[in-house]
Amino acid sequence: MIATPQQPQKMTIEEYLAWEFQQDIRYEYVNGKVIAMTGGTIPHNDIALNFYTALRPHLRSRGCRVNVSDVKLQVSHNSFYYPDVIVSCDPQDLNARKFIQNPKIIAEVLSPGTSARDRGEKFTNYLKISSLQEYLLIDSEKISVERYCRGEGRMWLYYPYTDGDIITLSSIEFELALALLYEGVVLETQS
């Protein structure tokens, strides 16, 4: 993710929200800095859409919403991100028009250019969200998913998944075979 030269270096949240609304591309916001979001790969997009497609019918009857990459998440009073997939069951978010504030599940599809940020800065900030129950890191180059599930207190439990496994999302009582998550996805090792 590379910032374009024309974008402001620092701005307030109010300035960011007004400015970003008028831009052709998406920008994340962290502590006054704006970060341009680059386009993803086809496998990245296919994985996010496969996950969304599997979740949507399950969540519809549960009073929850699922969104993909074009929906902004307010992580704190000074941070906004665009997760690849986000699930919220909070009544406030069900009627949201600008951004989600109380996610239950966040998924990031990893690519070489985003992996460090998704595992570092975003991971640290996401885990501070009190409503968040599960965080998934989904690899776009090989069949691999890492799931972090909220435990007791500040503890987070780690569950790795590989080819042939079934992901269990306990917060929404949902299971998904990795074969369906990666269905139709051309991985690096296959090309």
Identify whether residues 111 and 185 lie together within a single domain: yes
Identify whether residues 111 and 168 lie together within a single domain: yes
If 0-12 CB within 10 Å is exposed, 13-18 middle and 19+ buried, where does residue 191 land? exposed
Identify whether residues 121 and 146 lie together within a single domain: yes
Identify whether residues 111 and 30 lie together within a single domain: no
Report the alpha-carbon distance of residue 143 to residue 188 in Å, rounded. 10
Identify whether residues 30 and 93 lie together within a single domain: no
Identify whether residues 57 and 7 lie together within a single domain: no
Identify whether residues 57 and 138 lie together within a single domain: yes
pLDDT of 2: 40
- CATH number reported for the structural domain that contains residue 101 in this entry: 3.90.1570.10
pLDDT of 82: 94
Identify whether residues 58 and 124 lie together within a single domain: yes
Would you place residue 92 in the very low, low, confident or very high pLDDT band (cuts 50, 70, 90)?
very high
Q: What is the pLDDT of residues 161-185, one digit of tens each?
A: 999 999 999 999 999 999 999 999 9
Identify whether residues 79 and 30 lie together within a single domain: no
Q: How far is CA 113 from CA 109, 129, 141, 142, in A?
A: 11, 24, 12, 15
Q: Domain total for the chain?
A: 2
Report the alpha-carbon distance of residue 86 to residue 112 in Å, rounded. 21
Which pTM was predicted?
0.90
pLDDT over threshold 50, residue 4:
no
Identify whether residues 23 and 90 lie together within a single domain: no
Q: What is the pLDDT of residues 40-71, one digit of tens each?
A: 789 999 999 999 999 999 998 899 999 998 89
Residue whose token pair is 């919403």: 65
pLDDT over threshold 60, residue 91:
yes
Name the range with the highest mean pLDDT among 61-65, 112-116, 123-127, 134-138.
134-138
Would you place residue 1 in the very low, low, confident or very high pLDDT band (cuts 50, 70, 90)?
very low
Q: Could you list the residue range(s) of the whole structural domain that residue 13 is in?
A: 1-38
pLDDT of 5: 45
What one-character-per-residue DSSP string does the chain give? ----TTS-S---HHHHHHHHHT-SS-EEEETTEEEEPPP--HHHHHHHHHHHHHHHHHHHTTT-EEEETTSEEEEETTEEE--SEEEE--HHHHT-SSEE---SEEEEEE-TTTHHHHHTHHHHHHTT-TT--EEEEEESSSSEEEEEEE-STT-EEEEEEETT-EEEEGGGTEEEEHHHHTTT---GGG-
Identify whether residues 139 and 173 lie together within a single domain: yes
